[in-house]
Homo-oligomer: A and B are copies of this chain.
Amino acid sequence: MIEQLAESPVDFLYQQVTERFEQLITTGVLKTGDKLPSLRALTQEQGISLSTAFRAYCELEAKGFIEARIKSGYYVRYAPRSGAPTQPTPKPWTDPALVSVDDMIMQVYQNLSEKDIVQLSVAAPALELLPEGKLNKAMAEAVRTHAASCLNYEVIQGNQRLRTQIARYAVASGITVTEEDVVTTHGCMDALVLCLRAVTSPGDTVAIDSPTYFGIFSALQSLGLKALEIPHHPTTGLDLDYLENALQTVRLAACLFVPTFSNPTGTCLPDADKKRLVELLAEHRVPLIEDDIYGELYFGRQRPRTCKSFDQRGLVLLCSSVSKSLAPGYRVGWCLPGQYLAKVVQLKRMTTVSSTAPTQAAIGLFFENGRYDLHLRHLRKALHTQCLRYTQAIAEYFPPEIKVTQPQGGYALWVQMPPTINAYTLFRAALREKIGLAPGQIFSMDGRFKHHFRLCFGAPYTQSIDASLRTLGQLIREPMEPPTAE
């Protein structure tokens, strides 16, 4: 089904260039240390735009074929071992060539319910980090003191007290809104789908991050929308030059980005880039759906700004939820749809009628009582610590060729392996060792990130996690070493 989504001409050009260089490097025409043409030279040589050239180099870098040296340019980094083409794949690792991205996603989801697996694949807090007792108390109080409204259909726009609290948090992050601008939803994904439906029609093209959370392109696919994947810079996220170029050639109905602690790369778009993004899209009158689900989970001193806070024209539709910060199972999300408010409310009425009343009331109460602030302070500290512990273990147990991101918030480490290792193969091998991880393939529609995987640090660091990371390190080393006789 994924294949049905047509690729844009831009995608095609960029892939051609990338593949040509991969071939030159793997066949040894270009050797380790060789300098590549400059970006400008490449554009002239290939007749492509600067951002297409940049995206090709970024991907080659991401794949480990080349490296950028400061103020010097791009160099070949990949050193094929002598026996590379005939390198044997260890027996129990099956051929992933025939597995579709959608099947891979299903497999990752399926194993979530298996209790004996160490889940390094879930971008969500471990249950022990959640204020279970306090939340249960809020729930009991909500159904007792607001019995009528908990039993009855909620007003379509959502529980008013909850909306007031959501508006309060938004105002604190620089957005000018009241509860009248907020619509509650069934989690963040429901908010994204409502907003997509409000601003697009089937057949339209929507720009998304690449890599991005697989749920996003699944949602696009289910709505009959085409995706244009915008590449990421390894540290600052979204490549705005690439997007600017794309806007000249492709008619975009909307953009859907995760600007703050993107999933899986964990990058946070700098404030200046967020401002530029909003202005750029306003110029082209393209609405921006901003997935801010990780926004409150920063490790630094203050909350990063949202794109919405730079929005002058109501073109930014901010979506979020408590699924990553408080209670995944409660399915309490919301959106601030700007000028698309009426349309979003209408669509909500037409599809889900109203939101679940008791969970909304409980979360509203939890926010009102100041418990959410307190909880967030604890959670941020715990996640930051866990991030550092996991990163240290990776440095210790994984081969030195492995690269890993340094996120400033959220749940995800994005791990890059040498191009000899297929992430889906690793996923299967890890699963046999009772370790769950998310193979890079599931973060793009064409399974492009074959040598990456996402490792989530939502669980406190324990001996079991330590052992799992050590095993993972061994699994990654295995196929890189010459096979031993048994």
Contact = CB atoms under 8 A, between A and B. Distances in A.
Interface of A: 109, 112-113, 124, 127, 130, 132, 135-136, 139-140, 143-144, 147-156, 186-187, 189-190, 193, 197, 202, 215, 218-219, 221-222, 224, 323, 327-331, 347, 349-359, 362
Contacts of A356: 186, 329-331, 356, 359
Number of copies: 2
B351 A193 contact: yes
A352 B139 contact: no
B357 A150 contact: no
A330 B361 CA distance: 11
17 contacts: A109-B156, A127-B148, A136-B143, A139-B139, A139-B140, A150-B329, A151-B328, A151-B329, A151-B330, A153-B329, A186-B356, A187-B353, A190-B351, A218-B349, A219-B350, A331-B357, A358-B362
A269 to B, nearest CB: 25
A115 to B, nearest CB: 10
A343 to B, nearest CB: 11
A350 B215 contact: yes
Contacts of A127: 147-148, 151-152
A101 to B, nearest CB: 13
A135 B113 CA distance: 28
A155 B156 CA distance: 26
A2 B229 CA distance: 35
A294 to B, nearest CB: 16
A193 B349 CA distance: 12
A-B complex: 3 closest residue pairs judged by Cβ atoms = A329-B357, A222-B350, A218-B350
Contacts of A152: 124, 127, 328-329
A14 B221 CA distance: 39
Contacts of A151: 127, 130, 132, 135, 327-330
Given A109-B349, A154-B329, 12 more contacts: A109-B156, A112-B153, A132-B147, A136-B147, A186-B356, A189-B351, A193-B351, A222-B350, A222-B351, A330-B356, A331-B352, A331-B356
A202 B357 CA distance: 31
A330 to B, nearest CB: 6
Contact of A143 (B139, B218, B221, B355): B139
B124 A153 contact: yes
Nearest to A146: B329
A140 to B, nearest CB: 5
Contacts of A357: 329-331
